[in-house]
Amino acid sequence: MDELAKKIQQKYIEDITSRYPLYRFFCLLIYLFSYYVYFTTHKDSLLMTTKDIKISFLFNFSSGLISEVSIFGLTVSVTLTIVGSQISKIINSRSFRVMAKLNNFDQYVSDISQKAHKVKSEKRNINIETNILGVDAKRALLKGKQAISETALTLSICTFPSILYYSVTDIVVFIGCLVIVAYSQIESFKLYISEFMPSFIYEQVLLGNTVEFSDNNEPHT
């Protein structure tokens, strides 16, 4: 993949991920619950166990999930959350690389930049603030899709031990989660290329900035 595609790929990863996303706490809760099921109750099926668990158990700090999980269990869960987030980033990067092979990024960015410069040179009445809000909205949508993808990945990791015991329910959910991850990657890529990148380039050109990518693959204007 050419250099520009690699740099756009880096920006793609930065745009769809947050430094401290709230949904990752939900992923941590899933890992904590999974640890409780497999190592405290010694049940074989993660999902079938949920039939006997009340919602209050998850949030009761005195006699609920947190009180039942050991320090070691918490450490394992936090570690798995970090590992899962890194796996998610790898999936994002690799999927982008595969789908990017179907596109000519040099020509793509060049065409959009030319159109944006033409709009600016013709002094068309463009509401820059509205365009910026549009970029922010698309970025939020991208991060929402990332949250769905990483949560589904977390569920697939947590249900994996259950499929070793041939739990049909967990097998179906495991496969379904993988499908959701794949679908989220495709939809994120389509949204990024068709909606976010044009808006981002237009925004920078209209503000008088030049869209460039530095040698360390970090975008700047």
The answer to whether residues 32 and 77 touch, using CB atoms and an 8 Å cutoff, is yes
Q: Which residues contact 81 (CB under 8 A, 6 or more apart)?
A: 24, 27, 28, 31, 154
pLDDT of residue 146: 87
pLDDT of residue 36: 92
Q: Is 34 left (phi over 0), alpha (psi -120 to 50) or beta?
A: alpha
pLDDT of residue 164: 83
Helix axes 168-191, 128-163, angle to 10 degrees: 160
Q: Any idea what the Cα angle at residue 89 is, between residues 87 and 92, rounded to 5°?
A: 110
If we measure between CA atoms, which residue out of 27, 123, 39, 30 comes closest to residue 73?
39
As given in the structure block, the two tokens for residue 55 are: 């919602």
pLDDT of residue 35: 93
Mean pLDDT, rounded, of the chain: 78
Tell me the C-alpha to C-alpha distance, in Å, between residue 178 and each of 6, 12, 49, 163: 25, 21, 21, 14
Segment 4-21, tens digit of pLDDT? 456 566 666 666 665 557
Q: Is the pLDDT of residue 216 over 50?
A: no
pLDDT of residue 138: 73
Return the number of other C-beta atoms located less than 10 Å from residue 207's C-beta.
Answer: 12
As given in the structure block, the two tokens for residue 7 are: 């740099």
pTM score of the predicted model: 0.74
Q: Is the pLDDT of residue 125 over 60?
A: no
Residue 213, SS3 per DSSP: strand
